[in-house]
Amino acid sequence: MLIDVCIYGTVFLWVKMHHLNKKYKMGKFVITTRKNGEFQFNLKAGNGQVILASEGYATKQASLTGIASVRNNSVVLSRYDRKTATNGKPYFNLKATNGQVIGTSEMYDSEAARDKGIESVKNNAPDASIEDQTV
């Protein structure tokens, strides 16, 4: 009887999580290779929109280290450097504890939209899955 309850509980939990994941799609890191052979990653929100792009990395392992850094630093508001491009469009950089830029946002039409982009990175990055498109 206990086994039946555990199995039932597990199935119920899976169905509930499956339903939630369909309703609230989670973010993901997508690793790709550039034409020059470097690896890069983009953090995509649940709707598929790129919300953060990395620099180029010489190795896939370095890009995975970059993803780990984004996950760790994305929850710290002070690591977001709010900027304005020469064309007047707001954007942001996410920086590691050593001050190195580990991700750059798109250009936004307003500061409010940029701030929503920061919130999206904070919400998506810590638990985002990794999709490796280089294999």
Q: What is the pLDDT along the chain (135 residues), one digit of tens a residue?
A: 333 444 444 444 343 444 444 445 789 999 999 999 999 999 999 999 999 999 999 999 999 999 999 999 999 999 999 999 999 999 999 999 999 999 999 999 999 999 999 999 999 999 999 999 998
The reported pLDDT for the residue numbered 16 is 44
Region for residue 116 given its phi and psi (left: phi exceeds 0; alpha: psi -120 to 50; beta: otherwise): alpha
CA dihedral 97, 117, 28, 126 (to 10 degrees): 40
Condensed to tens digits (0 to 9), the pLDDT of residues 98-125 reads 999 999 999 999 999 999 999 999 999 9
Question: What are the sequence ranges of the domains in the chain?
Answer: 26-132
* Sequence-distant (≥ 6) Cβ neighbours of residue 17 within 8 angstroms: none
Q: Assess if CATH 2.30.29.80 describes domain 26-132.
A: yes
CA dihedral 47, 91, 106, 71 (to 10 degrees): -60
Please identify which residue in the block is written with the tokens 């850094």: 69
